[in-house]
Amino acid sequence: MNKLNILHISTASTWRGGEQQVAYLMEELSQKNIQQAVFCIKNGAFHQYADAKGFQTIPFKKGFSVNPLVARKLAQTVQKNQINLIHTHDSHAHSFAILATRFFGMHVPLVVSRRVDFPISKNQFSLRKYSDPAVKRILCVSNEIRSIVLQDIPNPDLVSTVYSGIDLSKWSNPSSNKLREAYNISSKQPLIVNVGALADHKDQITFVETIALIHANYPDARALIIGKDQGEKNALEDRIRALSLEGIIQLTGFRSDIPSVLSDADVFLFTSKTEGLGTSILDAFAAKVPVVSTPAGGIPELVIHEQTGLVGGIKNPSQLAEQVIRLLEEPALVQQLIAGANQHLQQLTKEQTAEQTLKVYQQILDQQHP
């Protein structure tokens, strides 16, 4: 068996679900004594995290998405550290690795993560970077994403599904009413929660419109949207005002204590119009909160209607509201869905994600050096 020396590349400056998955992966591989380092943006969120954890970091200043100076530094890093496998965790990371391969003499196999549920761009650079001979495996976060990638990459052996997972140990000590107390919501008021960055693809406008319909039937119901603003906060606030829902829906901003507070919710309502997988849903499963969701992207591989959750249409507030009201009125259904979600969740842990990823790494290395 060949010894791994992995370089992860993450070019995000902020922290979202993808960065959390990279963090989980590195933590699990570290426990297996796998040698690894991370090439990441200087002073970005991931650089700060990796430094705090004691991981080897090679920070860089991004400049722009196809900066040749970054690609040159990457090639130099690989040679200096004797890296024998690279895992790129976002599109720009993939671009830098291809540039380093083509123009700076880097000869290392690439593993590429794909988390988004739209087709590969048809521009020549995008198509070529996915079909480049250096790319030995494309890891998709759901079967739906895999099927989308296979529209442009006809080799099924090159494209695999490795589901994202969560850390179940974080969910062992849920709080009692901490979230409700923070926003002055009594235990008798139905509480509907959405967790996700305030970004266009999360479509929290539909969440707001769904709550408006629910509020007409349940005037005491309250709702929270938990997440950092990624450009949609003003539009959401405008829609809340237009529907006279001030005081009914609150935008909390980012919270780092989701594992200890999410169990205060009665329903988790996820309204994304595009989604690679939707790991916030896994958080709701772990918190034993029933889920209503759209069927965007890979979500149906998590939310199986009437087994692990309930499904309403994308941009369809009336359908989503109908499903939420079912949960508010049918306690037996709630317990059935919580049990189904918990069973499904056991296959979606960070440990399993790391095990499956490590198998891919080793297969590639064994093929390179039989």
- C-beta separation of 120 from 132 below 8 A: no
Compute the C-alpha angle 267/268/271, nearest 5°.
Answer: 130
pTM: 0.90
CA 183 → CA 175, 189, 219, distances in Å? 15, 12, 17
Identity of the residue numbered 144: E
pLDDT per residue rounded down to tens, the chain (370 residues): 578 999 999 998 888 888 999 999 999 999 999 999 999 999 999 999 999 999 999 999 988 778 899 999 999 999 999 999 999 999 999 999 999 999 999 999 999 999 988 888 888 888 889 989 999 999 999 999 999 999 999 899 999 999 999 999 988 777 678 999 999 999 999 999 999 999 999 999 999 999 999 999 999 999 999 999 999 999 999 999 999 999 999 999 999 899 999 999 999 999 999 999 999 999 999 999 999 999 999 999 999 999 999 999 999 999 999 999 999 999 999 999 999 999 999 999 999 999 999 999 999 998 887 6
pLDDT of the residue at 370: 65
The structural domains of the chain, ordered by start, are: 5-165+349-368 (3.40.50.2000), 169-345 (3.40.50.2000)
**Cα–Cα distance, 296 to 294 (Å, whole number):** 6
pLDDT of the residue at 345: 96
pLDDT of the residue at 235: 97
Would you mind telling me the total number of residues written for the chain in this entry?
A: 370
- C-beta separation of 144 from 300 below 8 A: yes
- C-beta separation of 76 from 96 below 8 A: no
pLDDT of the residue at 367: 87
